[in-house]
Structure 1
Amino acid sequence: MEWWLNGGVWMMMMTTTIISFVKAEDTLFYNWRVTYGKIALDTLPRRGILINGQFPGPEIRSLTNDNLVINVQNDLDDPFLLSWNGVHMRKNSYQDGVYGTNCPIPPGKNYTYDFQVKDQVGSYFYFPSLAVQKAAGGYGSLRIYSLPRIPVPFPEPAEDFTFLVNDWYRRNHTTLKKILDGGRKLPLMPDGVMINGQGVSTVYSITVDKGKTYRFRVSNVGLQTSLNLEILGHQLKLIEVEGTHTVQTMYTSLDIHVGQTYSFLVTMDQPPQNYSIVVSTRFINAEVVIRATLHYSNSKGHKIITARRPDPDDVEWSIKQAQSIRTNLTASGPRTNPQGSYHYGKMKISRTLILESSAALVKRKQRYAINGVSFVPSDTPLKLADHFKIKDVFKVGTIPDKPRRGGGIRLDTAVMGAHHNAFLEIIFQNREKIVQSYHLDGYNFWVVGINKGIWSRASRREYNLKDAISRSTTQVYPKSWTAVYVALDNVGMWNLRSQFWARQYLGQQFYLRVHSPNHSPKDEYPLPKNALLCGRASNKNMSIITP
């Protein structure tokens, strides 16, 4: 059951597996109950995380600038937090849902998230951010529609499908956590691939009509595996990436790296047969595949077509595809940074960060790091420690701007300071032999360059300073670099992390403290009155919170 406010009148909606879209003008209210329940993977039932009894969780459908009020009741026997992948949380890192900004929701307790999806349209997802709970479920999709008076640059599709795709493992999330806590790596090869919570024991199917065009929103919500999606016999017209309308380019298949979301149109222009939707692993030694069915309503059988998927080790193919994805500058719609959206290539760089990953054993346990620093969580969320001025929780500047050769990996609660409205160039340098994926909460950034080798100042000649794609998660290929620009217009404590969850859990992350000396609610919202307090903040007086 969901409630929302419409023209000053409270309305009620009964929900089933998918929340129906409502034309709310202001605030959408949701009540979610998080529980353990049985999910069937590869015919073997196991314990998963359900939201309102659903796996995946309910789909949120909202309009640009809507306020979302989501009450989460945690009925697990573990603490729980939800994070909102790609949603910008303008001036409101208190709602980000990661441990550096929020206290976990204790078992048997609840917390109400309250945030605005301001100046955004597009396709996003939410997921549990603690430990490796996302391996058990608890994730779902979040759509933000454009206001009716703001047109989108494509015709209204006949229907709009969501695909949440991911790797999965037969061992449950508590066992995976024990593996990591014991200082070992997760296996590189997953046991399978899922589409919307269904594995090889069931065949996911959608029905379409010949001649019509449909929209597909696809998010990789997995732990660590890049995936490729192809609809055999059909072309994919890319239209949106994580809230940015793209130049509408046709692809036979798309690589979707961990934490990324793509949206494309498919026209049903083939003979009326059944066609396979193929999701397969990329950049690992062996290919793991799942097939769903695209069923034409007047199908006359199954069409057998040879898959055109790229070689799983073909990095060059994937790099060229990534370089071809560009922002549609003629599309109208909300932009989080209107000036920067059009003129980012002419803005003066105030600071360059070169962030390099590394992996090593520390005291015989596996750790991962950025610039030689492996993140260790504090006993108190960093945002609360910052707000209440609690000493000795963290220090700003504990991670360098550039990698330092030698010295191995050190453990620290890594926080990097940055000035509000600074304009950063960030280079993600990957000297390892695996593809990686990075995300910055609270922001989109412009992916201005991707290429093989070691980045240098000369690499700037390759940058796209006109129509680079704006997104919140970017891949970094093996022995390669990726360069992004980001305008720090969002005050708060924001998590920059590997989207490979074992790496994130074992230290490949830090927090970016974007600070404004004004301490004004125009720059950052105050601590919510319902904020959970824990650690060294648990005995603080909430009455000091300014309205």
Structure 2
Amino acid sequence: MKLQGSGFGQLYVLCLAFAAVVVVKAEDPYRFFNWNITYGDISPLGFRQQGILINGQFPGPDIYSITNDNLVINVFNNLDEPFLLSWNGVQHRRNSYLDGVYGTTCPIPPGKNFTYNLQVKDQIGSFFYFPSLALHKAAGGFGGIRILSRPRIPVPFPDPDGDFTILIGDWFKYDHRILKAVLDGGHKLPSPDGILINGRGPGGASFTVEQGKTYRFRISNVGLQNSLNFGIQGHKMKLVEVEGTHTIQTIYESLDVHVGQSYSVLVTMDQPAQDFYIAVSSRFTDKILTSTATLHYSNSNKAVSGPIPVGPTEIDWSINQARSIRTNLTASGPRPNPQGSYHYGLINITRTVKLVSSAALLNGKQRYAVNSVSFVPADTPLKLADYFKIGGVFRVGSISDNPIGLYMYLDTSVMGADHRDFVEVVFENHEDILQSWHVDGYAFWVVGMNAGLWTPNSREEYNLRDAVSRSTTQVYPRSWTAIYMAHDNVGMWNVRSENWGRQYLGQQFYLRVYTPGNSTRDELPIPKNALLCGRAQGKNTSQLDSLFY
């Protein structure tokens, strides 16, 4: 083809053509999933229950991806009730519409489908997905997510010879509808009946390995309320990653994994050719529940034997282990720069927020709260109400930055936050149980934890150099945990207790990170296929942008 016009015009046309080719070639890969959500019979503890299956599987299939991949997950809800999936630890950069919790996303109605379009932008690591409505999490519907680094960005350890997902969690023999009715009736959940490892009870799961090789185990606690200790009989574990952060490679004999948390460890098969216990036991409970799986050497000549390993019982042991988990400052993250290049300890704090949990009877029913506010879901997802400017759904500032000393009360609590603020958040636990807290859409630095009440002097013991960055942190009984968080992700984000009974009965709120600008650099548009419900139903969607950004 002959180009017409001046030399500048020819050059301009050539540049446009070249740019178009670059854009097409530079587009990040897409991975497509079709998931069918159904009920099915399961027997994880030896008696039949109704579980939630994904494509007939319990637990659901692993999501395998690479940094910056676009994940297109088409979910068909064949349950007899609404359903939502949430992506624990996956940050949904600039896009809280797809977070998969009721405060941001309308549920998928029975018999309908919805397509999640997620990009694992600038993220690596080990995470999981789970159903967020009602008590569906007590019936299954969860699975692992692994996000690998791009090939040109090195990881700080050799490629393992195998990569296993291990989903651990407490389990109840009661149907999830019964558990929901218990909570709706104003009562606490009973104690769990057992512990599952990849959806199986004691002795049910098995992992085959080869002697002399090294394997990666991605461990996630997908349970409802119990912290768990994980260990492998006769083997040491080298911690290498926590929820997207490469860590100092510390050796542990066992590892405390609190509800909602994920860890990656490397284990070398350096023992004699036989089978070994993989042991998981409950922590900080009056009755210790234990479950096992089998680590099977392919050339094994001896069945598993000996006492089942049980983790330490002291809280101090757990606290010291938590403090020892630190960021590997020399390792690359999902971008080709060291993780330690972001000097969080040198940034001025713009705001301090103290969050105190509480439990009480309200109108004769059990409720849980944060800063005296027990969250009540609105009739419309808060993000949709915000987008369509629907009044009366929520009020920014309906939860305070600090405990206010009032009796517990009900509200749809939303805390306002400004984009680009750098915030100190203190979780203070006045109760005798261990708590676990999660912030959707974010990773934060766990800078300190200790017994007693937090005071400004507590900052003197903060780790301001290499604290681990993660999305879920524990708060020990009668203790505090402090985090630093950069408000760099605009949207409406759920802050919640990972103890699911407490979350269901009010121990959560939403963080509205706001910017007055209207740029897609700060926040992506509402998806074209967004489900509309509540007072947003029937709104004009002709202005909605394309599903694929």
TM-score (norm 2): 0.93
Aligned match of 1:364: 364
Counting only pairs closer than 5 Å after superposition, residues 11-160 of structure 1 correspond to structure 2 as 26-160=29-163
Task: Report how far residue 309 of structure 1 moved.
Answer: 3.5
Task: Supply the distance in 2 between the matched residues of 1:68 and 1:213 (Cα, whole angstroms).
Answer: 29
1:19 counterpart residue number: none
1:115, CA displacement in angstroms? Answer: 1.4
Give the match for residue 278 of structure 1. Answer: 279
Match of 2:197 in 1: 195
**Residues 247-298 of structure 1: CA deviation (Å, up to 9, x unaligned):** 0000000000000000000011112121111000000001110111111122
Partner residue in 1 for 2:492: 493
Say if 2:231 and 2:311, in contact at 8 Å, map to a contact too. Answer: no
Tell me the residue number matched to 1:18: none
Give the aligned partner of residue 465 of structure 2. Answer: 466
Q: Does 1:505 align with 2:466?
A: no
**1:285-342 Cα deviation digits (max 9, x unpaired):** 0111011111112222146455564443x11000000000000111113269989862
Q: Counterpart amino acid of 2:417?
A: A
Residue in 1 aligned with 2:269?
268
Q: Percent of counterpart pairs with the same letter?
A: 64
SS in 2 for 1:484: strand
Query: Counterpart of 2:343 in 1: which secondary structure?
Result: helix
- Give the counterpart letter for 1:110 in structure 2: N
Give the Cα–Cα distance (whole angstroms) in 1 for the partners of residues 171 and 300 of structure 2: 32
Is contact 1:167–1:191 with CA below 8 Å preserved after alignment? yes
Distance 1:32 1:372, change over 3 A: same
2:451 corresponds to which letter in structure 1?
A: K
| Displacement after TM superposition at 1:360 (Å) | 0.2
Structure 2 gap segments, 5+ residues each: 1-21
* Deviation string, structure 1 residues 486-536 (Cα, Å, up to 9, x no partner): 000000000000000110000000000000100211110111110000000
1:352-385 Cα deviation digits (max 9, x unpaired)? 0000000000000000000000000000000000
- Residue of 164, 167, 179 corresponding to 2:167: 164
- Structure 1 or 2, whichever has the larger Rg, is 2
Aligned to 1:408: 407
Which residue in 1 is equivalent to 2:5?
none
Measured after TM superposition, the shift of residue 481 of structure 1 is 0.5
Tell me the distance in 1 between the aligned counterparts of 2:436 and 2:422.
22
Write the distance in 1 (CA, Å) between the matches of 2:318 and 2:439: 22
Distance of aligned partners of 1:489 and 1:340 in 2 relative to their CA distance in 1, 3 Å threshold: farther
Distance of aligned partners of 1:340 and 1:386 in 2 relative to their CA distance in 1, 3 Å threshold:
farther
Report the Cα distance in structure 1 between the residues aligned to 2:32 and 2:449, rounded to whole angstroms. Answer: 41
Partner SS state of residue 317, structure 1? helix
Query: Any idea what SS the aligned residue of 2:48 has?
Result: strand
* Separation in structure 1 between the aligned mates of residue 336 and residue 542 of structure 2, nearest angstrom: 33
Task: Give the equivalent residue in structure 2 for 1:315.
Answer: 315
Taking the aligned partners of 1:31 and 1:307, their CA distance within structure 2 comes to: 40
RMSD: 1.8
Gaps of 5+ in 1: 1-6, 10-23
Structure-1 separation of matches of 2:232 and 2:82? 39
Quote the Cα distance in structure 1 between the aligned partners of 2:501 and 2:545: 38
What's the offset of the Cα at 1:204? 1.1
Moved over 6 A (4+): 336-340
Alpha-carbon contact 2:153-2:335 (below 8 Å) kept: no
Equivalent positions of 1:88-487 (< 5 A) are 88-187=91-190, 189-200=191-202, 203-302=204-303, 304-306=305-307, 309-312=310-313, 314-334=314-334, 342-405=342-405, 407-487=406-486
Retained in 1: the 8 A contact 2:528–2:545?
A: no
Look up the match of 2:533.
534
Cα shift readout 1:379-403 (whole Å, capped 9, x = no counterpart): 0000000000000000000001011
Shift of 1:8: 12
Preserved contact between residue 424 and residue 485 of structure 1 (Cα < 8 Å): yes
**Distance in 1 separating the partners of 2:341 and 2:510:** 25
Aligned 8 A contact 2:215 2:266 in 1: yes
Secondary structure of the 2:231 match is strand
Question: Distance between the aligned counterparts of 2:340 and 2:401, measured in 1?
Answer: 23
Paired amino acid for 1:52: N
Q: Is the 8 A contact 2:330 2:338 kept in 1?
A: no
Deviations 1:426-460 (A, max 9, x none): 00000100000000000000000011111111100
Check 1:213–1:337 CA distance in 2 against 1; reply closer, same or farther (3 A cut).
closer
For residues 546 and 29 of structure 1, do their structure 2 counterparts lie closer, same or farther at Cα, with a shift above 3 Å needed?
A: closer
Letter in 2 for 1:291: T
Equivalent position amino acid for 2:259 in 1: V
**Does the CA-based 8 Å contact 1:274-1:294 persist in structure 2?**
yes
**Contact 1:252 1:308 survives alignment (8 Å):** no
Could you tell me how far 1:210 is from its partner in structure 2? 1.3
Deviation at 1:209, TM superposition (A): 1.4
Distance (whole Å) between structure 1 residues aligned to residue 300 and residue 32 of structure 2: 41
If the length of structure 1 is used for normalisation, what is the TM-score?
0.93
Q: CA deviation at 1:544?
A: 3.1
Contact 1:232 1:305 in 2 (8 A): no
State the distance in 2 between where 1:536 and 1:340 align.
45
1:329/1:342 contact within 8 Å kept: no
Distance across 2 between alignment mates of 1:203 and 1:428: 38
8 Å CA contact 1:198–1:204 kept in 2: the answer is: yes
> Aligned partner of 2:446: which letter?
V
Partner of 1:12: none
- Tell me the residue number matched to 2:16: none
Cα distance in 1 for partners of 2:336, 2:485 equals 12
SS class of match (1:175)? helix
In the alignment, the residues of structure 2 paired with residue 534 and residue 103 of structure 1 have an alpha-carbon distance, to the nearest angstrom, of 6
1:450–1:380 CA distance, 2 compared to 1 (3 A): same
C-alpha distance in 2 between matches for 1:107 and 1:82: 14
| Partner Cα distance (2:454, 2:336) in 1 | 29
Q: What are the Cα deviations for residues 443-485 of structure 1, in whole angstroms up to 9, with x where unaligned?
A: 0000000111111111001100000000000000000000000
Contact 2:449/2:481 (<8 A) preserved: yes
Is the 1:103–1:532 Cα contact (8 Å) retained in structure 2? Answer: yes
Quick one: structure 1 residues 102 and 293, their matched pair in 2 at CA, closer, same or farther if it must change by over 3 Å?
same
Query: What is the deviation of 1:61?
Result: 0.5
Does the aligned pair in 2 maintain the 1:120–1:336 contact within 8 Å? no
User: How many angstroms apart in 2 are the aligned matches of 1:462 and 1:289?
Assistant: 35
Measure how far apart 1:41 and its partner are. 2.3
- The one-letter amino acid of 1:511's match is Y
Q: How far, CA to CA, are the matches of 2:544 and 2:88 in structure 1?
A: 27
Structure 1 counterpart SS, 2:138: helix
Once the 2 structures are TM-superposed, how far is the Cα of residue 25 of structure 1 from its aligned partner? 5.1
